[in-house]
Structure 1
């Protein structure tokens, strides 16, 4: 029992240090993850650690408990955050809903669980502990030095946990190898604990209280930032996940960060994601935050505003101003939505952002002078202080209110509308422009992809689906594969990977080649809602606050469909254009499903929906009951000793297990007809049974010898002897079924 207690104490303390280190990584990732993901991973790690240390179960039972716990945590946490809303009976409706809703959150939880299991089995000695602590310290040091994160306090906590782990391992080894010396140390526990605590406290306080001082040498991150200065949002060279890359101002290729682009004349270079905040938008409808559009495709990118000038109208931005007009608005129902934009950066932008088309703008910050805002009714852009690429944007507003008109599309009617119905008048040729040297294979591919579509909208759905499914998303495309001079042609046939600029530009160019007017739009994707992002994704009609960073900079396509106006299309994988549909077509849903998605959903639903849910629940209940009964029978011995441990309040030694196991075998033999009176000793009963059942003689003799050794001998029972008792007990029960005939 002493060895078990020593091991348990060390296991418990080492798990505490391991969890403390894991929490430092969770603290580091918290700004990057949704709060639901952070909570899920934290509860997973703490719960699995407690199960691993505190439950005295065999491996099979312990894994069963862990799996049940993990499923329970997924449901509890993700339901509380609104990621999944239970509807219908538990099986099959809720089970099917959980399967469809829990990803990708559960992958973070499973990864954390797997890492914890690996580390707990790998870190078994001092050398591995030192290696593990060193790896963590090096990782945090690199992140602290080469990024904007300040992780000194996390490093201090890791040092604290590492020292604690090493001290516990040292004491554990000392107690195991030198039990007499350990007994002497135990006489002064407070003195030892006070010294250790004093050292640990000093290390921790020094670590977390270090003042910020100027370094003698410039660290790598600062040097890199200084070298790249001028590439941020204000410089207009950085782009994003959906946005574009900037062209460096020097002859040396510098690293480009994501953000709102100012120059789209040459697209395609790789970039790094920047998660610096840009703005917060309060809106009752989830939207893309639209900035500018482009209409002239050059073959390398999109023409500058100097080459495609705008007709602008000055706008004062007062509450009493007339509603803004827009050309080609479409004859569809529109929802008027107020959106309050609060800028979280000092960078300036050429436009004000809003959902779909802006109806009015009101500045909410205090200013004396009337702003110079310019509205372009044709492109639906609100420029701040002119629209020239090189013009400055001084005094950019920090807070403003946009009233936007969000169209509600009758998608089914649009799907059925023919080309002749949509384009009674000749389409605007500016939005059908293509370079004279556009490779023919681009046009041929567009025709091939959309051949099965009967109407313009159906053709565009096929085109959108093809691009999102057949090309890989990456922020660093392999440009070594590029041979064609045309940006779209090289993407479709050579590089075959890219980010939003690749997909959106290809969508516009291929749509134009089929006679569908299209334009290229840049701005920002909706951003994140850390508390209930998944719920808002399913229901864009819910109000909320959207946090937009440079990583959300994005570009997409808008296609013109006559009386239905301009409709956003999203070909970039992982993105869904937030489109409102009419009520008869499921109001306020996301972008229309592609044919592949529709087929997949039908296949997923068809398997369970084809069987009566009541029958499924009954079959499942019976199967679960049978499985539970089988498990209880298979692990009956383990359950018995778990109950004994709880009853006695401590872990049983092999000797105690031998005594209780033998007495339990006697009770089992009683059910086979071998009775023992209250006055008989175990030796007397066994002697009588040997005469009655000769086939039991050898097993009874060996079992009795081990029992008496455990009960009366000072010698300790080994684990091997205890296992032998288990085998003898099972053997006796089997042999007792055989009846001996006397002749």
Structure 2
């Protein structure tokens, strides 16, 4: 085979390996959309694939590829762990972890492995997969199955997950056509064997690239029909064990304990949680309050205000949510019965007394306790039934406006203990605060500010109530910011969290409250008014604090209605709760709604101007790391590729003659010739009993018989002669180098 053909084949393999790496990276960069992998760690996996393919291209021997790839994988794993241990200690430490994890591995309980071990096994998987793909795709030309699988994978993610497959599909389309075209070219003996024909590759590739870019661009910018059904991303993306936990199982509606990570869709559940019947012939609607959270983390809510646990004396609760002097109250007696005994006792309005019914062996008190900090009732012993005596407030808007005016005049102030309810994370994007400021405009009255923010979220026709097609925020992305400016759809957790954050940015103490909506009211078989509360009634809302009044509830969620009776400022008369009669809900005026929409448009327009001409980095990943790492890596890969190709003869000669300079000159010549001879014997079998001189005559040396004869003579002199060979070691090296490089062609 001629030299031109060999270089062409080597170059084709290099290009195939490079394209294979690009396709592999398309797979890797889908991980954050269905796992908890952070985008800032994807370069680790990209490097594993790139280096393994590079080593596979450099070394023709499978065993050497495998060995060097594994060594690099272990080195890269140590880099990932960032440990300062020396290699021997690190190996023993790693082996100890693996040995301890063997029972979990054999039992396929991979979720029990620590994060480092799972990452290490994924490194190993990527290494073995890259080695296999190089052999199957680059060396054996089995391309179609891998390409088909790649398109299917991107299509599945685009269909069932919150993943935009438009650009990945275009890139995959380009890579695939080049792979197939180059593979076809590789099988063309006319191109490979004709002298100088390799130059035809440049115009051919240029034309192909032009056509591909043209048609891909047309396909990308052409208008497309809208989907015929909603994207079922939420059902598959919200696989988790408990609401907010982020792991295992299907997220369904219900009252969860962990609210530290909000987001994702859920499946509505009709499972009955409890029923409640009222003593009397009227049953006003209300929230079933569970607990409140005080600290917003940017991802969800946690409780950091210290517990104020108070044991109950005869079930009586002394702390008050509302000041009965400032707000009218209605008394209510309810008997609540759980389907399954529960530990969290849900109450309506302002609870005055809780009388649980325990089993005879549960003790007199049953362990019922009250946390004044979050205003939550719980029981150490699960409760099946309890009597709740409470008061339902009537929200007096005139009184709230008066109190807010006192705040403006300095005649009233927020107590010091409300400071935690103004907390906002340092990572909160500035545009959230800016939006709140624009929504309230010139308004100074705290209550009117709250009503404007509530109306903006509920009535602005900007934000859509949605329970299924709801994404999780990306790593490092603020939950409220994503809802307000990116997705603009969600359920009660999104609306209520947004309102609390916007209120706090305006200096109004507020907290996030969760529990259940009122439920389905009807008369039972005994003619009693009874409400049935199901898991799908799980709800969250807002409480804002006003001096002399207390914690006033607000409903920010679109399609929900305020359950409490209100005395309107405009009429001065009481109206039923909107949950009882939605027509009684007071909406903002049309001109106010237009101003609200304009507020969002202004903030978004300003943000667009600030980011114009700049690349937007993904949350938590800086621009240089995310967008410069890959192109720089590609350039370095191409540079290394060029260096290796240009010096391939020298590298191969060094590799095949390593270790020969340590002994005498005669020994060098003998071993040098033997290694050269062994290479030719792989191509042309040596006849039995043939001498080296006889074997040299049948080799395809292409006019270099004289030079090879000189090498053979030097070998015979060094091996069988009694005097030093006439050819020196340097002359032997210079003359034999061409045969080492020629052998591989």
The bucket for the TM-score relative to the shorter chain is: 0.3 to 0.5
TM-score of the aligned structures, taking structure 1 as reference length: 0.42
TM-score of the aligned structures, taking structure 2 as reference length: 0.42
Q: Which has the larger radius of gyration?
A: 2
